[in-house]
Amino acid sequence: MRVVAGEEMKAVDRYAIEEIGIDGRILMENAGRVAAKNIMKNFGRQKFCVLIGSGNNGGDGFVIAKVLQENGYHVSVCVIPERDKIKGDAEYHMNIYLNSGFSFTQYDQAPAESADIIVDTMLGTGIKGEIRSPYKEIFRELNKMDNTIISVDLPSGVPADESPVPEHALQADHTLIIGLPKLSYYT
Ligand SMILES: NC(=O)C1=CN([C@@H]2O[C@H](COP(=O)(O)OP(=O)(O)OC[C@H]3O[C@@H](n4cnc5c(N)ncnc54)[C@H](O)[C@@H]3O)[C@@H](O)[C@H]2O)[C@@H](O)CC1
Ligand SMILES: [K+]
């Protein structure tokens, strides 16, 4: 099996988008649908909270939240950044999510705390440098809770390469791979 670092995964996505011609929004729809299907198959009808960040990992989160709710799951959705910070493919899927009649709130500890399962789509392979606020504080809070955390692509805050894992990175119970396994799964 091929294992990649974040930059290599980006190159694979870039190749799919620029050379093969697959729209990045379709890649995101597929990634989110596969993740949602996996969640529904393995975790059943519990109370979910999907946490969404500002990048494309968050874009996967809008697709997952939409598919779970379309299938009748109990889901609260919390977005970390202000709505106008969400751009590109993630903004496209945020708009589809909202136009489908679903809603979200800004991040708050309460819905996360009351959920059985947290779906983490806050940060993926695009993380650079030290984990910044408000993410590091949110990860610290989440790491103290005892609900199950399912991270999409990577536990948020964990780099995709061999760099050391920061102290306050999210501690996931399960990680759903998007594309190919990342090098940091094995380090
Ligand atoms: N079309 C695509 O590019 C696809 C991307 N995919 C998803 O997109 C992810 C990668 O997306 P992005 O490259 O947008 O990156 P991320 O979504 O991982 O993160 C980017 C965001 O994080 C912020 N950020 C960066 N470093 C930070 C730090 N140290 N502390 C706090 N915030 C920080 C940036 O300001 C940016 O808003 C993958 O992990 C995967 O889940 C999948 O949807 C497949 C298709
Ligand atoms: K994540």
* pLDDT for the residue numbered 79: 98
* pLDDT for the residue numbered 100: 97
Does residue 146 have a known ligand-binding role? no
Parse the chain into domains and list their residue ranges: 6-186
**CATH number assigned to the domain covering 6-186:** 3.40.50.10260
Among 70, 85, 84, smallest CA distance to 36 is for: 70
CB-based pocket (< 6 A), ligand 1: 13, 24, 27-28, 31, 53-60, 89, 123-132, 135, 152-153, 178
Q: Is the predicted ipTM greater than 0.85, yes or no?
A: yes
Among 36, 10, 2, 23, smallest CA distance to 125 is for: 10
Backbone angles phi, psi at 103, to 5 degrees: -135, 170
Among 149, 122, 154, smallest CA distance to 3 is for: 154
Q: What is the pLDDT along the chain (187 residues), one digit of tens a residue?
A: 676 676 777 777 787 777 777 889 999 999 999 999 999 999 988 999 999 999 999 999 999 999 999 999 999 999 999 999 999 999 999 999 999 999 999 999 999 999 999 999 999 999 998 999 999 999 999 999 999 999 999 999 999 887 888 888 999 999 998 876 667 777 6
Does residue 23 have a known ligand-binding role? no
In the reported structure, the alpha carbon of residue 33 is separated from the centroid of ligand 1 by a whole-number distance in angstroms of 18
Dihedral of the alpha carbons of 144, 147, 153, 157, in degrees to the nearest 10: -10
Measured in whole angstroms, how far is the alpha carbon of residue 57 from the centre of its chain? 4
* pLDDT for the residue numbered 1: 62
Question: Which of 127, 130, 131, 185 to mutate for ligand 1's pocket (most ligand atoms within 8 Å of CB)?
Answer: 127
Dihedral of the alpha carbons of 84, 13, 139, 114, in degrees to the nearest 10: 80
Instruction: Indicate the angle between helix axes 56-70 and 88-99, nearest 10 degrees.
Output: 20
**Strand pairing report for 74-79 and 148-152:** unpaired
In the reported structure, the alpha carbon of residue 53 is separated from the centroid of ligand 1 by a whole-number distance in angstroms of 8
Does residue 73 have a known ligand-binding role? no
User: DSSP of 55-86, one letter per residue?
Assistant: SHHHHHHHHHHHHHHHTT-EEEEEESS-GGG-
Does residue 57 have a known ligand-binding role? yes
d(CA 31, CA 35) in angstroms, rounded, equals: 6
